[in-house]
Structure 1
Amino acid sequence: MASMSPHLLQPMITKLESISSLTEEERYAVESLPVRVRTHQSREDIVRDGDRVSQCCLILEGWAYRYKILGGGRRQIFSFHIAGDIPDLPSLHIPLMDHSLATMTKATVAFIPHEAMRDLTYQFPRLAAVLWRDTLVDAGIFREWMACMGQRSAYDHLAHLFCELYLKQEAVGLAGEHRCPLPMTQADLGDATGMSNVHVNRTLQEMRGDGLIILRNKTLVIKAWNELIRAAEFDDTYLHLRERTVG
């Protein structure tokens, strides 16, 4: 079903405006994109590794994650996604999926035809540049995850991830006062960081004991923001937010 609601695609506009500026004409062009909306239950695949796709997935509500299944059923999580993210934006130019995208929570997803996205970028070159910028920011996040995986301790790694997830949500109005949703399980955190469940649990207990965080009812409460930043050696430059919170 196509929709022209000026509010339906607001999460996409909010996300893009967190990293760049949009004109009124550009906002209207985004709002006017034809979409098909579907609600997915928690832990459902949206697209699978090997699929050839003809549309992009925009998260309107809820959480999603990108992952790949390796031999023996081992899972590697590549990224977590919130409302406003278009996790498979590269499929606009590389339609054969080389990983899977699934919901972490119940999620509302808008499917935007590739043809409509291409028309948008042809008609509005500045929007094409903003979408390209979003893809480059995504690549920067991948680099930070690689640095964490290879060189940071478990404690520093989780601290860095929590800083990142908080700031990403704060930038689009989903978090504030050092409190944000955190719906992933310890198994999810382990598959994203390369740690065992036991190691994740032990590290979270240590962080709680040090007074840095509280995890309760799928909510992250950061009790000592400056100390968390120091533990993570966190610099938010790689997020390229328009209004930087750190540094």
Structure 2
Amino acid sequence: MTSLLDQSPARPVIQRLKVMRQLADDEVVALEQAIREAIRRGRAGEDLICEGDCIDSVRIILSGWLCRYKALENGRRQILNFVLPGETCDAYAYLLSRTDHSIGAITPVVYADIKRARFEQLIKTHTSLGEAFWCETLLMGTIQREWAVNLGRRMALERVAHILCELFERLRPVGLLDGNTCSFPLTQMDLADATGLSVVHLNRTLQELRSAKLISLRERILRIEDLNGLKRIALFSPTYLYLYQKH
């Protein structure tokens, strides 16, 4: 099972869901089959979901980075969160009449677009899968609350350090860290829109983190030189990410 899973496009989501709940082999096989039947691809800059859309499927990200965002009428954008490999674009969003925000691809993405009827059959037959997807949905809520604290109460340096710590830790359970480095496709504009800072202020803040020898960031690769030091500056605790919870 392990060797087959290593080659599976479903590997990131299965690894992430296993943090949430223990999954039996037959549940892993069933989810993998549903994903294989529904694989789609998206281009960088493409919106997978637009604000106001009616949702009739579950989109699960297999590779690539996306962002949740809302745009004001004058074009200004607030990034609400990022969607990383193994995460869903809200597993149960189809229960609402329409979505209240957009989800756009930052990089080319591969995702599964599982129709509602197929997904509901899957979680009805495999209850641990249903619980795992509910846990993942609740986890997005805890992350959103932490982002509210980040924007409302942390200073610029703390704010940027915190988002770097969070993204680094969210990549950990899906095996997308290489020691203390990871792929980091976000532009300074993306980070500015996520932290509520101007691009100029964001650039100065990154320079401060570099000067303190906490990070290096070049050619879309993030290297955390001192993770504990970065966490101290960010006032970061990973407990809200539930990475090591007991089932």
The two structures have a TM-score, normalised by structure 2, of 0.92
SS of alignment partner, residue 96 of structure 1: coil
Whether the aligned pair in 2 keeps the contact of 1:54 and 1:95 (CA below 8 Å) is no
Whether the aligned pair in 1 keeps the contact of 2:59 and 2:88 (CA below 8 Å) is yes
Residue 15 (str. 1) matches residue 5 (str. 2):
no
The 5 A counterparts of 1:78-227 are 78-227=80-229
CA offset at residue 81 of structure 1?
1.4
CA offset at residue 58 of structure 1?
1.1
Q: Does the C-alpha gap of structure 1 residues 243 and 180 become closer, same or farther in structure 2, counting only changes over 3 Å?
A: farther
Residue 71 (str. 1) matches residue 73 (str. 2):
yes
Q: What letter matches 1:133 in structure 2?
A: C
SS of alignment partner, residue 117 of structure 1: helix
- Cα deviation, 1:164-211, whole Å, max 9, x if unaligned, reads 111111111001321111111111111111111011001001110111
Whether the aligned pair in 1 keeps the contact of 2:21 and 2:128 (CA below 8 Å) is no
SS of alignment partner, residue 93 of structure 2: helix
Cα distance in 1 between the residues matched to 2:97 and 2:81 = 19
Cα distance in 2 between the residues matched to 1:221 and 1:116 = 40
Runs (4+) off by over 4 Å: none
Cα distance in 2 between the residues matched to 1:135 and 1:170 = 19
Q: What letter matches 2:70 in structure 1?
A: K
Partner residue, 1:46: 48
Whether the aligned pair in 1 keeps the contact of 2:66 and 2:103 (CA below 8 Å) is yes
SS of alignment partner, residue 21 of structure 1: coil
Q: Give the % identical residues.
A: 37
How many pairs were matched up? 240
Whether the aligned pair in 1 keeps the contact of 2:22 and 2:128 (CA below 8 Å) is no
CA offset at residue 126 of structure 1?
1.9
The two structures have a TM-score, normalised by structure 1, of 0.92
SS of alignment partner, residue 53 of structure 1: coil
Q: What letter matches 2:53 in structure 1?
A: D
Cα distance in 2 between the residues matched to 1:32 and 1:96 = 28
Cα distance in 2 between the residues matched to 1:126 and 1:39 = 28
SS of alignment partner, residue 46 of structure 1: strand
CA offset at residue 40 of structure 1?
1.4
Partner residue, 2:31: 30
Whether the aligned pair in 2 keeps the contact of 1:69 and 1:76 (CA below 8 Å) is yes
Cα distance in 1 between the residues matched to 2:108 and 2:152 = 32
Cα distance in 2 between the residues matched to 1:127 and 1:95 = 24
CA RMSD in angstroms, aligned pairs only:
1.7
Long gaps (5+) in structure 1: none
CA offset at residue 95 of structure 1?
4.6
Whether the aligned pair in 1 keeps the contact of 2:45 and 2:106 (CA below 8 Å) is yes
Q: What letter matches 1:139 in structure 2?
A: G
Long gaps (5+) in structure 2: none
Q: What letter matches 2:100 in structure 1?
A: D
